[in-house]
Amino acid sequence: MALLHISLHPPSPLSFQRSSTIIPALFFSRHSSAKLHQRGIKLAAAALPSESAIADFWRWFRERGALTQPPLPVRPAVVPEGLGLVAERDMLRNEVVVEVPKKLWINTNTVAASEIGPVTLGLKPWVAIALFLLREKAMGAASLWRPYLDILPPETDSPIFWSEEELSQMRGTQLLNTTFGVKEYVQNEFTKVEDEVILPNKHLFQKAINSADFLWAFGILRSRAFSRLRGDKLVLIPLADLINHNSSITSEDTCWEIKGKGLFSRELIFSLRTPASVNTGEQIYIQYDLQKSNAELALDYGFIESNNKSRELYTMTLEISESDPFYGDKLDIAESNGLGETAYFDIVLDRPLPPLMLPYLRLVALGGTDAFLLESLFRNTVWGHLELPVSRANEEMICRVIQDSCTSALSYYQTTVEEDEKLMERGGLDPRSEIAIGIRSGEKKVLLQIEQVFRERESELDTLEYYQERRLKDLGLSGEQGEIIFWESK
């Protein structure tokens, strides 16, 4: 019988499996300072910029030509989430909130035009921009970007900024592994850029940059860039990046665009629009990303949506073992159907299992008397057979292994779902504790759901129809009730 390899932790600490993309690719999503709207939690006063800093930024923003049509219908202000955009008048849906010209963007072009441009050639876009932010910040009043840099938060509530004690609240979670992986990734990038760029060019980086500084820049970029402006297109948009998230906004693609400033102008502007009507004095919100799980929201922005089941997700990793005697055949079949040696399946709370999960499980577990399905004769039809139960032994194996894996994963958590719910009901928790409890509770709920699905399936093994029964029916050798039909000559 084949060995069934299952991992209930992300295969790589740098991946979020909903998008199946490693950190450097998914790296920058949506933005904002500290997005805690769903919970209505206020940031500590020490994390907020002063009124004078906000006023200086607002003056800088206007003086640098951002305001083409006075007055602007919004202003930056302190809000429950930290900083946000507040309407100065009633605004209808799809009205322009702000238009930011390209000269106020921070992207790789900005870096290339700066003093450090020549030494950042060939760096990853985010690394180059991170170095630019840190150098400009160290320049203080000599930096043209100081008013913007002065309103950036010292950190967010992303787990990458948590203490060991705070992280211990997420013991057993996939997010904890991912957090460690992200921090290791950032540290490795820092070590490399320190050796290759920073130290050989001390005349450009006169103030020392350490790994904590670099992690800060990483977190700022991760939390403030808009979703489609990632990778090579990575850009920070001052003022626009203050806009916060609201789960009641269900559209994410119509609230902003990059366009020409005028009909015949080549100058680009970033145009932000209202996704919903707002009244004077109300905060303007957008939807960051409908597809992100709570773990992704936490890592990117430092908040979760506690009551949104569609955000509760657990990633199951399945693998065809190289020690499997049928490894080559199974890998060929998997690749022919868009999968590979390792497959990642995101299971969402209260939703059916991913459609490819059971066929892949059956393939991985295939062996013994069922191995004939791996022969080349069946290569074009085998996946269709795997979409239905193959044999009792095969189905029983996957049911038991999945249940055992879930039980094992659940044992690593320090609390039960019920205990977590009591903690949340009691209230008085700090934002990071709320995130930790929400993440671990959500993961456990999904694990319990998976366990229940396969427990029920195991109880139905005797009622399922397997390959041999289906084949006999196709040949007319079995009745509707499964009885064998014997043909006797007259």
Q: Is 408 helix (H, G, I), strand (E, B) or coil?
A: helix
268 is in an annotated binding site: no
- 81 known ligand binder: yes
CA dihedral over 375, 378, 381, 387, signed as positive or negative: negative
**Short-list 240, 302, 276, CA closest to 105:** 240
* Burial tier of 341 (Cβ tally within 10 Å: 0-12, 13-18, 19+): middle
Helix (H) or strand (E) segment spanning residue 431? helix 431-459
- Write the single-letter amino acid at 270: F
- Angle made by CA atoms 352, 356, 358, in degrees to the nearest 5: 75
The answer to whether 228 is a known ligand-binding residue is yes
b/e code 83-122 from CB counts within 10 Å (16+ = b): bbbbbeeebeeeeebbbbebebbbbbebbeebebeebbee
∠ at Cα 319 (314, 324), nearest 5°?
Answer: 155
| Residue whose structure tokens are 């694990």 | 447
Token pair belonging to 309: 């089941």
| Residue corresponding to tokens 């808009």 | 226
Buried b (16+ CB within 10 A) or exposed e, 167-178: bebbebbbbbeb
Q: Tell whether residue 82 is among the known ligand binding residues.
A: yes
Is 148 among the residues known to form the active site? no
433 in Cβ contact with 441 (< 8 Å): no
Run of H or E residues at 177: helix 174-193
- Helix, strand, coil share of the chain (percent; to 5): 45, 15, 40
Cβ density class 186-212: b for 16+ within 10 Å, e for less: beebbeebbeebbeebeebbeeebeee
Consult the annotation and say whether 244 binds a ligand: yes
Dihedral angle over CA of 221, 227, 229, 235, nearest 10: -30
Q: Which long-range contacts (CB under 8 A, 24 or more apart) does 377-386 make?
A: 379/332, 379/333, 379/336, 382/333, 383/333, 383/336, 383/337, 383/359, 385/467, 386/358, 386/359, 386/360, 386/362
Residue 383 labelled as part of a binding site? no
How far apart (Å, rounded) are the C-alpha atoms in residues 148 and 220? 12
117 is in an annotated binding site: no
- The answer to whether the annotation marks 301 as part of a ligand binding site is yes
- Among residues 285, 288, 344, 360, which one is catalytic? 288
Does 470 carry a binding-site annotation? no
CA distance 128 to 122: 9
Is residue 400 within 8 A of residue 356, CB to CB? The reply is no
CA distance 161 to 215: 8
Residues annotated within the binding site for S-adenosyl-L-methionine are 81-83, 224, 244-245
Catalytic residues: 288
Binding residues: 81-83, 224, 228, 241, 244-245, 256, 288, 301
Q: Which segments are annotated as binding site for substrate?
A: 224, 228, 241, 256, 288, 301
